[in-house]
């Protein structure tokens, strides 16, 4: 007894849908939450922290061992919440007080410990209101 061509079409359709789902989740969903300093408290595991550098970054003479310390606050917000960050790794040229950036890491004992090399600075143009020409 031969199998029905409809079964083959259904099986191939299901397999194609599953393959598309796997590719989509691999490319689009990295599984890491994007948080602001005001929403970081209570989160465990790896997250991406998005914020604006405030204060003067502290870089020790023994940077390679001690790392760099700075604070982040919410981007373009009046919220006073700040999070201290400990970072090791390459620092982008655009890093400075007032720079908007993203770092990936984990909150440990009230300090966000960033993964080495995870710092990415954001272009301020993405946050600026569009000007209207009159």
Read off the tokens for 119.
């710092």
Residue 129's pLDDT is what? 47
φ/ψ of 23, rounded to 5, equals -65, -45
- Indicate if the pLDDT at residue 121 is higher than 80: yes
How far is 53 from 122, CA to CA, in rounded Å? 11
| Of 58 and 40, the one with more pLDDT | 40
Phi-psi region of 89 (alpha: psi -120 to 50; beta: other; left: phi over 0): left
Q: In whole numbers, what is the pLDDT of the chain averaged over residues?
A: 80
Biggest distance spanned by C-alpha atoms of the chain:
80
Residue 100 β-bridge partners = 52, 122
From residue 121, alpha-carbon distances to 35, 64, 114, 126, 132 in Å are 15, 21, 14, 12, 27
pTM: 0.66
pLDDT in tens, 6-46: 888 888 888 888 877 776 655 555 556 678 898 888 888 88
């Amino acid at each position: 007894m031969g199998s029905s061509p409809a079964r083959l079409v259904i099986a191939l359709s299901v397999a194609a849908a599953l393959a598309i789902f796997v590719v989509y989740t691999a490319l689009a969903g990295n599984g890491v939450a994007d948080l602001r300093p005001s929403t970081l408290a209570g989160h465990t595991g790896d997250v991406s922290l998005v914020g604006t550098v405030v204060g003067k970054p502290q870089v020790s003479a023994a940077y390679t061992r001690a790392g760099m310390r700075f604070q982040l606050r919410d981007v373009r917000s009046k919220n006073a919440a700040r999070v201290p960050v400990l970072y090791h790794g390459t620092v982008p040229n655009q890093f400075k007080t007032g720079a908007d950036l993203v770092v990936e890491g984990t909150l440990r004992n009230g300090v966000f410990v960033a993964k080495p090399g995870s710092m990415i600075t954001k272009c301020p143009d993405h946050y600026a209101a569009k000007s209207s020409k009159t």
